[in-house]
Amino acid sequence: MIVASSRRTFLKTGSAALVYASLPREALPLPADRPPRVGIIGGGLAGVSCAWLLDGVAEAVLFESRQTVGGHAHTIPVVAGNQEVLVDVGAQFFARGPHPTYVKLLELIGLFDPNFPEHDASLEAEMSIAVMEKGRIYPRFLSPATGRFWPVFAPWNYQGLWAFLWFALGAKEFAEHGDWDVLVGSWLKTLPIREEDRERLLLPLMSAMVGCSIEQARQLSARGALAFVGKALPESLLAPFKYSNSLLGLGGNVQFLAQLSQNLTVHLGSNVTRVRRSRRGGFRIRNASGVEDNVDVVIFATPPYITSSLLAEIPRLSRTARVLRSFEYFPSEISVHRDPVYMPEDPWYWSAYNISVENAYSEASVWYGALRPVQHGQTPLPLFKSWATARSKAPEQEVFRRQFLHPLLTPGFVRAQRRLAAYQGRAGIWFAGSYTRDVDSQESALVSAMNVVRELAPTAPNLLELAGLMEAVSVFQRRSPESPEKGEGA
In the 8-state DSSP scheme, what is residue 27?
A: S
Side-chain-side CA neighbours of residue 480 (13 Å): 22
Give the model's pLDDT for residue 362.
97
Q: Which of 50, 70, 405 is nearest to 268 (CA)?
A: 70
Cα–chain center distance at 293: 29
Q: How many CB atoms lie within 10 A of CB 16?
A: 21
Helical spans, DSSP H, in 195-298: 195-197, 203-210, 214-218, 222-225, 227-230, 249-259
User: Phi and psi (nearest 5°) for 56?
Assistant: 100, -15
pLDDT digit string (tens) for 269-295? 999 999 999 988 899 999 999 999 999
Query: 182: helix, coil or strand?
Result: coil
Q: Is 173 exposed, middle or buried (0-12, 13-18, 19+ CB in 10 A)?
A: exposed
The one-letter code for the residue type at 298 is V
In the 8-state DSSP scheme, what is residue 151?
A: G
Pick out the chain residues at pLDDT < 70: 2-32, 117-118, 237-238, 471-490
Query: How many Å apart are CA 99 and CA 131, to the nearest integer?
Result: 25
Give the model's pLDDT for residue 316.
85
The count of residues in the chain is: 490
Q: Which of 386, 406, 404 is nearest to 217 (CA)?
A: 406
Query: 304: helix, coil or strand?
Result: helix
Give the model's pLDDT for residue 25.
36
Q: What angle do CA 194, 225, 440 make, to 5 degrees?
A: 165
Helical spans, DSSP H, in 128-248: 158-177, 184-188, 195-197, 203-210, 214-218, 222-225, 227-230
The four Cα atoms 108, 63, 423, 427 give a dihedral, to 10 degrees, of: -120
The four Cα atoms 443, 448, 451, 454 give a dihedral, to 10 degrees, of: -90
Strands of 59-63's sheet in order across: 2-3, 264-267, 59-63, 37-41, 297-300, 429-431
Query: 211: helix, coil or strand?
Result: coil
The one-letter code for the residue type at 132 is M
Query: How many Å apart are CA 209 and CA 217, to the nearest integer?
Result: 9
Query: How many Å apart are CA 127 and CA 136, to the nearest integer?
Result: 23
Are the C-beta atoms of 264 and 1 separated by less than 8 Å?
Answer: yes
Give the model's pLDDT for residue 71.
84
Encode 126-149 in three state secondary structure: ECCEEEEECCCCCCCEECCECCEC
Are the C-beta atoms of 42 and 302 separated by less than 8 Å?
Answer: yes
C-beta pairs of 303-311 under 8 Å, 24+ apart in sequence:
303/329, 303/405, 303/433, 303/435, 304/420, 304/433, 304/435, 305/329, 305/405, 306/42, 307/41, 307/431, 310/41, 310/272, 310/274, 310/275, 311/275, 311/429
Give the model's pLDDT for residue 19.
39
Query: 283: helix, coil or strand?
Result: strand
Give the model's pLDDT for residue 340.
97
Rg (CA), the chain: 23
Q: Model-level pTM?
A: 0.90
Give the model's pLDDT for residue 438.
94
The four Cα atoms 186, 91, 44, 109 give a dihedral, to 10 degrees, of: -120
Are the C-beta atoms of 38 and 297 separated by less than 8 Å?
Answer: yes
Give the model's pLDDT for residue 13.
32
Q: Which of 1, 71, 67 is nearest to 42 (CA)?
A: 71
